[in-house]
Structure 1
């Protein structure tokens, strides 16, 4: 969707819904969450909430923010956070802790699993120290990518605060500098710099908080990159060599990392536009998008609605979540939700029903 069309669409949505949204937050922000076990979501994608699924003894395994989670080939659920007593927590699907490690990632944020012909590796982004690490599944650091000024890609004064990686079919490493200078940087599998694209701005091929990135393999003949532009409430699609293709506009949803499972796209929504259509604290939900890029369910959010083919404003409907930062989808299509700034909440499981 061209950027100009996105702006026109958002303007129409704003005009049509401003009055209603002005009053809605007073119900939403003061409502009490229902008990554990509530079913949320829409259509064929509905889920039972298990709020205590990932709870641990915080005196032994403390967390600050549960940032992201991936599942390895053994079915283990690996979570990264920014608590240096245990940056990595590894669960089984019942919520039992299997393993913990990691003390060197004070801003542990992005977590990507790469299966290289049966051998699995993790890529960990730390925006606090401005580095990306490749590790094995036990935490041994195998590769470190530092400030891009070291390879001539940035000036020394440019901010580098990487938030996410994606690994291409050929091993190319894509780094989203989402809290820094808003570039997507490409490195080869050895960690050698290739080029960059994007940068800050409101153009089609630019970003405002390039928070997440993934390889979109839903069109198997033409894999592409999906990059978050969170302030724009959008995912932007690029070719694997960085050429802009289209924008998926998600009005109201400050989306985090795009997560692809089979033919479906999932994302945590960190904030939605409640009061006066502004970014509102504690207003997160989950959004689910089909192969044709149509939103089909918003667990914790309002039911997706289209008018004349245009997606209408989406906001939090039930205060079950505060700030959904990432989702992980298991092989039974259950969802595990990681939250930022959510009173040190452990991951929440949404059981598909």
Structure 2
């Protein structure tokens, strides 16, 4: 069989990945009924304290689909967001809240797990932060230990906007440029507390094939370059970083459709596995270009890690498919 013509389900049961991070593909984990909970794009996924898996979609009929660990849908609800894109979960005083971005409407809201909105951030143009000509299309949030909210304007003007827990604007940093401390598609932002005494932000510079690290007050620190990989947000679990590579490319700043894979980065920030992608390798301490090897995925958009270290992969522009489970072997 020509591998380029294989469908996602043709890879069901196949083991992919490298080294100690190999996974068995389970394309049939989701038991969602497309007639009841249809999806367009499955953008992001998080797990709550009850080990329920919460999926964000941009289908206005059901922006949120909640699964149990067996893949059964237990509930679903909507905020009528046609561009629902970023999903972050955060525990505050014992309760969990969702932070959701809609890039089409410019909305950023905080909800409880039942979908009740408890906070909505004002549009930056209404606050005088953006000139009227600057686009604002938020794609992701992160929440600091003190409750500060960071919004990545990934499809808009390429800023990270910082608000306090009440939604009051503090500052913006970044912006669009090819220069080192700036962004080309700041698609994601993640709180990094691997060093609890030195929390940082990991910001996605997707077109630059990189993660960029910043202090919590917006000062640029360094770049982790991942050549060939147009990464989504960083997902941290037990010191590891996981990310969905939405596209890969043989050319710097290139974008090629249907070429995604999943990336696993260890505690030393070295790529150790690329499920669906080429085997990671380093020359003189620098990674060589990484691209899709097997067409398991089209456009992985996020990674959710469960307690058994299985991975759940929602995808953008992937024929309305539900998340794929990668079972750790």
Correspondence 1:28-47 to 2 at 5 A: 29-30=4-5, 34-47=10-23
**Could you list the runs of 4 or more consecutive aligned residues of structure 1 that deviate by over 6 angstroms after TM superposition?**
none
1:251 equivalent in structure 2: 227
Q: Shift in Å at residue 350 of structure 1?
A: 0.4
1:214 equivalent in structure 2: 190
1:138 equivalent in structure 2: 114
Correspondence 1:66-77 to 2 at 5 A: 66-77=42-53
Q: Shift in Å at residue 275 of structure 1?
A: 7.8
Is 1:310 aligned to 2:300, yes or no? no
Helix, strand or coil for the counterpart of 1:231?
Answer: helix
CA-to-partner distance for each residue in 1:133-158, whole Å, 9 max, x for gaps? Answer: 11000000111113202112111221
Q: Shift in Å at residue 346 of structure 1?
A: 0.2
2:59 equivalent in structure 1: 83
Alpha-carbon distance in 2 for matches of 1:276, 1:158: 27
Alpha-carbon distance in 1 for matches of 2:275, 2:43: 19
2:259 to 244, 259, 283: 283
1:109 equivalent in structure 2: 85
Correspondence 1:265-284 to 2 at 5 A: 265-274=241-250, 278-284=254-260
Q: Shift in Å at residue 52 of structure 1?
A: 1.5
2:155 equivalent in structure 1: 179
1:352 equivalent in structure 2: 328
Q: Which segment drifts farther, 95-104 or 232-241?
A: 95-104
Q: Greater helix percent: which structure?
A: 1
Alpha-carbon distance in 1 for matches of 2:189, 2:29: 27
The root-mean-square deviation of aligned C-alpha atoms, in Å, is 1.5
Alpha-carbon distance in 2 for matches of 1:264, 1:156: 40
Is 1:336 aligned to 2:312, yes or no? yes
CA contact (8 A) 1:285 1:301 kept: yes
Correspondence 1:90-105 to 2 at 5 A: 90-105=66-81
Alpha-carbon distance in 1 for matches of 2:4, 2:213: 34
1:8 equivalent in structure 2: none
Q: Shift in Å at residue 60 of structure 1?
A: 1.0
Alpha-carbon distance in 2 for matches of 1:47, 1:251: 23
Alpha-carbon distance in 1 for matches of 2:281, 2:206: 21
1:202 to 152, 164, 178: 178
Helix, strand or coil for the counterpart of 2:301?
Answer: strand
2:269 equivalent in structure 1: 293
State the aligned residue count: 327
1:263 to 224, 239, 244: 239
Alpha-carbon distance in 2 for matches of 1:32, 1:341: 14
Q: Extract unaligned runs of 5+ from structure 2.
A: none
CA-to-partner distance for each residue in 1:315-345, whole Å, 9 max, x for gaps? Answer: 0010000000011011111100010000001
Is 1:236 aligned to 2:212, yes or no? yes
Q: Shift in Å at residue 277 of structure 1?
A: 8.3
Q: Extract unaligned runs of 5+ from structure 1.
A: 1-26
Q: How does the TM-score come out when normalised to structure 1?
A: 0.90
Alpha-carbon distance in 1 for matches of 2:118, 2:236: 26
